[in-house]
Amino acid sequence: MNYDIQKIRSYFPVLHQKVYDKPLVYFDSAASAQKPIQVLMAKEKLHNDYYGNIHRGAHFMADKTTVQFEEVRDKIRNFINAESREEIIFTKGTTESVNLVAYSFCEKFVKEGDEIIVSEMEHHANIVPWQLAAERKKAKIVKLPFNDLGVLEIEKLPSLINQKTKLIAVAHVSNVLGTVNPVSEIIELAHENNVAVFVDGAQAVQHLQIDVQKLDADFYAFSAHKLYGPNGVGVLYGKKKWLEQIPPYQGGGEMIAEVSFEGTTFNQLPLKFEAGTPNITSVIAFGAAIGLIIEIGLQNIEEWELSLLEYATSKLKEVQGIRIYGEAPEKSSVISFNIEGIHFYDLGVLLDKMGIAVRTGHLCADTVMQHFGINGCVRISFGLYNTKAEIDIFIAALNKVRLMF
Amino acid sequence: MTIEEVQQEIIAEFSVYTDWMDKYGYLIELGNELKELDPKEKTGQNLIKGCQSRVWLVAEMNDGIINFRGESDAVIVKGLVALLLRVVTGRTPKELIENDLHFIDDLGLKQHLSPTRSNGLLAMVKQIRLYAVAYNKIAG
């Protein structure tokens, strides 16, 4: 594989530093990825060259900014192979994307007694908005369970779907277990029963090539900041037929066609769902992040990360008292674990003091913690810039910590 | 010894450790030595829940002084609880109200009291103060 890791790492100046006098090992990209210079430069360039509010100015600055902003929409359309640019909505993150669909879709299509199926391995952001909607509509949330390997029990799905089922919410990749869920199969089964599917792709887009048309997903959401882009920007892909039918989520500028006190008409897609001045700078910088991903190639990234996953998993399995949560055959580069006799917080604190950034706690996935009967765990996650040498440092640190207890 | 003197004593004890891992090694030692609470005392009422670790705090007022006991499920946090208890237990409410707890900051361990850490310690420090204010009112 032709993967120039040194060159790639050189794009991320932040990685080349010492933390507590130790070289930084950043194993928390699943929480948020570091930003390459291309992204930082794009932000700066925008403000140095021309900046204006988009879609409404009849002047040079606004025009230039609008063109760049809309180019990113096209880039994203290509990136996930959506059928049209109208299906790409900018939000402030995956969480807002979920909330938008949970509000607007349920407002239109869910009524009292209806059911929404949510998988047991979801991030809180793909549970709570559905619960709020269900409460508002007096609908019911139905759990799609997973087994102890961290694999969804989709053989149970046919018995969970009935006349009242309106939507299934599922992660493409679990943020705790790393499981790559069989969303194609789920969507196929759902569509046979006229059920829509919302896919949380927050942990998938940075690792896997996504084709929303091939998947036939009704909605697909992700965040820029996990895809090496800036914070505060997310994407909601929605099939045009749904986006046209469901009501706006928030009111404000941009999303209207005409406003009067007698009544307001709404703008065309995608602006119907983009009330107010969006995060212009970050959207444009996000374009630079996607550019870099395309340049390196998602397939190369995936291959590289899977080799890290395999290496780290085999090394971790040699550590005494280890328990890994999530051993699905189809897995992405996330490993959650506990070591017997050592609290995850203690482990996280000590690794931090050795320069290694990991995530600890319930990982915003209480239902996964409950499944395994734990209060939390440690998670390491890899990005396109991590190396096997870093895994060796991590394993040595882990063994050092073990001796302290 | 006054609250301030105990804090200075702790700071002196830690000053021998220049390396972070040694500092934490000592905290782990203190955590392991801390007497565990009776399981019956580990109730929801005494629980201070953080998303990282859990802390339990029990307070009893006797003859004008407050005795605190506590524990955590994480050993480093338990070590910090042990240090806190050494400073605050057996004090009058007035002493607790009038003195600042600054030693954790001085030891370079302030991060454990950060609201973002959510390990229960910050809430424990607040809770100690609340007990002091409440008992002060009752006594007063």
| Residue B93, domain CATH | 3.90.1010.10
Tell me the pLDDT tens digit for each residue of A49-60.
999 999 877 899
Is A364 tagged catalytic? yes
Mean pLDDT of A28-37: 98
A404 interfacial to chain B (CB closer than 8 Å): yes
A349 interfacial to chain B (CB closer than 8 Å): yes
pLDDT at B49: 76
Rounded CA separation B105/B10 (Å): 12
pLDDT at B140: 65
Does the pLDDT at position A332 exceed 80? yes
User: Cβ–Cβ of B74/A405 closer than 8 Å?
Assistant: no
Interface test with B, best of A19, A123, A349 (most B CBs within 10 A): A349
Mean pLDDT of A281-305: 97
Interface residues on B facing A, Cβ-Cβ cutoff 8 A: 20-21, 24-25, 28, 51-54, 73-77, 112, 118-119
- Annotated active-site positions of B, please? 51
Q: Which residue of B has its CA nearest to A19?
A: B20
Does the pLDDT at position A194 exceed 90? yes
What are A389's two structure tokens? 């040498």
- Which of B96, B90, B91, B46 minimizes the C-alpha distance to B72? B46
In Å, the largest CA–CA distance within chain A is 73
Q: What stretches of chain B adopt beta strand conformation (E)?
A: 47-49, 54-62, 65-72
Does the pLDDT at position B117 exceed 70? no
Does the pLDDT at position B115 exceed 80? no
**Reported pTM:** 0.95
Domains and CATH numbers, chain A: 5-30+297-403 (3.90.1150.10), 41-294 (3.40.640.10)
Does the pLDDT at position A391 exceed 90? yes
pLDDT at A58: 82
Does the pLDDT at position A76 exceed 80? yes
Q: What is the mean pLDDT of chain B?
A: 91
pLDDT at A1: 64
Tell me the pLDDT tens digit for each residue of A103-147.
999 999 999 999 999 999 999 999 999 999 999 999 999 999 999
Rounded CA separation A298/A379 (Å): 23
Q: Which residue has the higher pLDDT, B111 or A92?
A: A92
Half-sphere exposure of B59 (CA within 13 A, CB side): 22
Q: Facing residues of A196 across strands? A: A167
User: Cβ–Cβ of B28/A345 closer than 8 Å?
Assistant: no
How many domains does one find in chain B? Answer: 1
Does the pLDDT at position A377 exceed 70? yes
Mean pLDDT of A23-40: 98
- Tell me which of A24, A364, A374, A395 is the catalytic residue: A364
Q: Left, alpha or beta for A363 (phi > 0: left; psi -120 to 50: alpha)? A: left
- The residue range of the domain holding B16 is 3-139
Mean pLDDT of A89-112: 98
User: Cβ–Cβ of A346/B119 closer than 8 Å?
Assistant: no
Q: B24: which chain A residues are within 8 Å (Cβ-Cβ)? A: 349-350, 353, 404
pLDDT at A56: 77
Q: Count of CB atoms within 10 A of residue A193's CB?
A: 13
Mean pLDDT of B51-65: 91
Q: What is the mean pLDDT of chain A?
A: 97
Tell me the pLDDT tens digit for each residue of A165-175.
999 999 999 99
Q: Which residue has the higher pLDDT, B136 or A193?
A: A193
User: Cβ–Cβ of A353/B21 closer than 8 Å?
Assistant: yes
Give me the percent of chain A exceeding a pLDDT of 90.
98
Lowest mean pLDDT among A226-235, A371-380, B121-130: B121-130
pLDDT at B138: 84
Half-sphere exposure of A35 (CA within 13 A, CB side): 17
Does the pLDDT at position B120 exceed 90? no
Does the pLDDT at position A40 exceed 90? yes
Question: What dihedral angle (degrees, nearest 10) is formed by the CA atoms of B12, B14, B16, B18?
Answer: -130
- Cα A340 from chain centre: 30
Give me the percent of chain A exceeding a pLDDT of 70.
100
Q: Are A185 and A330 in contact (CB under 8 A)?
A: no
ipTM above 0.95, yes or no: no
User: Cβ–Cβ of A405/B25 closer than 8 Å?
Assistant: no
B73 vs chain A: nearest CA distance in angstroms? 7
Rounded CA separation A90/A142 (Å): 29
Rounded CA separation A3/A301 (Å): 8
Q: Are B84 and B127 in contact (CB under 8 A)?
A: no
Does the pLDDT at position B139 exceed 90? no
Q: How many CB pairs under 8 A join A and B?
A: 48
User: Cβ–Cβ of B21/A375 closer than 8 Å?
Assistant: no
